[in-house]
């Protein structure tokens, strides 16, 4: 069976004065039904652009996006609209993602109207059901977004995405604008909904604690490319790309004995306007050799389901427990929060 979502060599180049910004430059991955794939990386590495490309909110400059084996890159009109029922998106900023002029009920009902689902009465019932699903009260349907907190708004956005019963939801940093305690509630809500409806998530994040909790697999992006993909546990335990190692090492750990042991990456991300030749990471890589400056490393499988785009992927030393004992005490405490049962209804 074809994967639910498949990106193949997808690229997006923005022409600018004096060149072309290669925001996303040849990204390939697959996402199975009911699976969560996390996309992580520094700001500006092309995560959000990849998300929008996967939904055809932005046209790719090259490559193919397939949903359920069907190419969506050429879709328009009715076919595109039918595709939109299968894949939805939730956003990072809960204050920008809701139209301030629509009541919560109207916002959640709108996808149903657009797709001609149900009559007025059944739509109203569905709105009440959706509000319940995300832990809001029915009477709140008549309220407007500015009357809600950030976490509540995020729930409203989730209800809106769920309205058309999609199979895939793209979560563009859904919790990074929220307080930690609220993050836990929203993450747990997302996991809960995934179990109930068999949703697949493309989960974009830069918070590795959340990723570790949410994702089945993780793809690490750097400068518009995926540099490493692996099952979550494997990636955290045995990263095979120096960039992934640097990311994991950068998780803050409040342990004074570790002071000076972490060498953060020097320098800045090179400009996507003029990416370095060879391996894109060689300008910051502590292990870079001559070959890295000239030959672009292919993404080779180092273990089943584990690909790394590094010339020395197989030779990297076993990490001196990058994630010692799993996680830092802070991260562990946050995970404990995430572990708590389903979110209670907010009032």
Partner 1 sequence: MNAIAPPKRAGVLKRLLRDPAAAIALGFVVAMVLAAVLAPWIAPTDPFDNNLALSMKPPGTPGLLLGADAQGRDLITRMLFGLRASLMMGFVATAAGGVVGVLLGFLAAFYQRWLDGPIMRLMDMMLSFPAILVGLAIAAIFGPGLSSVILALAIATVPLMARIARGSALVTMRLDYIEAARAIGMTDARLIWRHLAPNCLSAIFVFTTLRFGQVILLGSALSFLGLGAQPPMAELGAMASEGRNFLFFAPHIAVIPCIGIFAIVLAFNLLGDALRDALDPRLRF
User: Judged by CB, which is closer to partner 1: 95, or 293?
Assistant: 95
Angle (nearest 5°) at CA 306 between 302 and 309:
65
At its nearest, how many Å lie between partner 1 and the CB of residue 154? 12
At its nearest, how many Å lie between partner 1 and the CB of residue 96? 4
Here the tokens at position 181 are: 């305690």
Tell me which residue of 216, 182, 180 sits closest to 199, measured CA to CA: 216
User: Judged by CB, which is closer to partner 1: 88, or 183?
Assistant: 88
At its nearest, how many Å lie between partner 1 and the CB of residue 229? 25
Q: Which residues contact 147 (CB under 8 A, 6 or more apart)?
A: none
User: Judged by CB, which is closer to partner 1: 137, or 336?
Assistant: 137
Sheet holding 36-40, edge to edge: 87-90, 168-172, 200-205, 36-40, 217-222, 225-231, 306-308, 300-303
User: Judged by CB, which is closer to partner 1: 33, or 115?
Assistant: 115
Strands 200-205 and 36-40: parallel
Alpha-carbon gap, residue 190 to 158, rounded angstroms: 8
Strands 70-71 and 200-205: unpaired
Q: What is the DSSP string of 46-103?
A: SHHHHHHHHTTSS--SEEEEEETTEE-TT--HHHHHHHHHHEEEE-S-TTTSS-TTS-
- Tell me which residues touch partner 1 (CB under 8 A): 52, 55, 57, 80-81, 83-85, 87-89, 91-93, 96-102, 110-111, 114-115, 137-139, 146-147, 157, 160, 164, 345, 347
At its nearest, how many Å lie between partner 1 and the CB of residue 4? 16
User: Judged by CB, which is closer to partner 1: 146, or 196?
Assistant: 146
At its nearest, how many Å lie between partner 1 and the CB of residue 25? 22
Residues 288, 279: contact at Cβ < 8 Å?
A: yes
Q: At what angle do helices 150-162 and 120-133 cross, to 10 degrees?
A: 130
Name the one residue in this structure whose structure tokens are 């832990």.
135
At its nearest, how many Å lie between partner 1 and the CB of residue 137? 5
User: Judged by CB, which is closer to partner 1: 117, or 335?
Assistant: 117
User: Judged by CB, which is closer to partner 1: 63, or 157?
Assistant: 157
Here the tokens at position 200 are: 């697949």
User: Judged by CB, which is closer to partner 1: 123, or 213?
Assistant: 123
């Amino acid at each position: 069976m074809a994967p639910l979502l498949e990106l193949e060599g997808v690229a997006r180049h923005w022409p600018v004065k004096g060149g072309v910004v290669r925001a996303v430059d040849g990204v390939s991955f697959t996402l199975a039904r009911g699976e969560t794939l996390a996309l992580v990386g520094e700001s500006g590495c092309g995560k959000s652009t990849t998300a929008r490309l996967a939904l055809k909110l932005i046209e790719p400059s090259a490559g193919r996006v397939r949903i359920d084996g069907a190419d969506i890159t050429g879709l328009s009109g009715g076919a595109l609209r039918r595709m939109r029922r299968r894949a939805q998106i939730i956003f990072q900023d809960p204050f920008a993602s809701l139209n301030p002029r629509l009541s919560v009920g109207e916002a959640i009902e709108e996808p149903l109207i657009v797709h001609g689902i149900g009559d007025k009465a059944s739509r109203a019932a569905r709105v009440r059901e959706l509000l319940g699903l995300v832990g809001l009260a029915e009477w709140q349907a008549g309220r407007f977004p500015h009357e809600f907190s950030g976490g509540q708004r995020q729930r409203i956005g989730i209800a809106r995405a769920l309205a058309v019963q999609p199979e895939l939801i793209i979560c563009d940093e859904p919790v990074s604008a929220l307080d930690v305690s609220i993050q836990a509630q929203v993450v747990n809500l997302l996991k809960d909904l995934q179990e109930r409806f068999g949703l697949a998530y493309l989960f974009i994040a830069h918070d590795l604690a959340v990723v570790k909790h949410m994702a089945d697999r993780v793809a690490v992006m750097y400068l518009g490319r995926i540099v490493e993909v692996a099952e979550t546990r494997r990636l955290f335990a045995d990263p095979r790309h120096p960039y992934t190692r640097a990311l994991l090492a950068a998780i803050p750990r409040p342990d004074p004995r570790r002071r000076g042991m972490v060498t953060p990456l020097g320098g800045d991300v090179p400009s996507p306007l003029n990416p370095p030749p060879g391996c894109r990471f060689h300008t910051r890589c502590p292990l870079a050799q001559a070959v890295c400056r000239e030959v672009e490393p292919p993404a080779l499988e180092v273990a089943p389901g584990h690909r790394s785009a590094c010339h020395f992927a197989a030779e990297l030393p076993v990490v001196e427990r990058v994630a010692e004992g799993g996680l830092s005490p802070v991260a562990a405490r946050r995970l404990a929060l995430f572990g708590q049962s389903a979110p209670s209804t907010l009032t």
